Copies of this chain bind each other. A is one copy, B any other.
Amino acid sequence: MATTTAAARRDEAGARYNAFLAGCPSRALLDRISDKWVVLVLCALGGDGEEDPEPRRYSELARTIAGVSQKMLTQTLRSLERDGLVTRTVTPTVPVTVHYALTDLGLSLHLLMQQVRSWAQENMDEVQARREEHDTRA
Counting every copy of the chain, the complex holds 2
Specify which chain B residues have a CB less than 8 angstroms from the CB of A112 in the assembled complex.
Answer: 115-116, 119
C-alpha spacing A117/B119, complex, angstroms: 16
C-alpha spacing A24/B125, complex, angstroms: 11
Decide: B39 and A116 in contact? CB cutoff 8 A.
no
- Report which of B29, B34, B48 forms a contact with A35, defined as CB distance below 8 A: B34
C-alpha spacing A26/B119, complex, angstroms: 9
Specify which chain B residues have a CB less than 8 angstroms from the CB of A43 in the assembled complex.
Answer: 21, 26
Decide: B117 and A24 in contact? CB cutoff 8 A.
yes
Specify which chain B residues have a CB less than 8 angstroms from the CB of A72 in the assembled complex.
Answer: none
C-alpha spacing A56/B127, complex, angstroms: 22
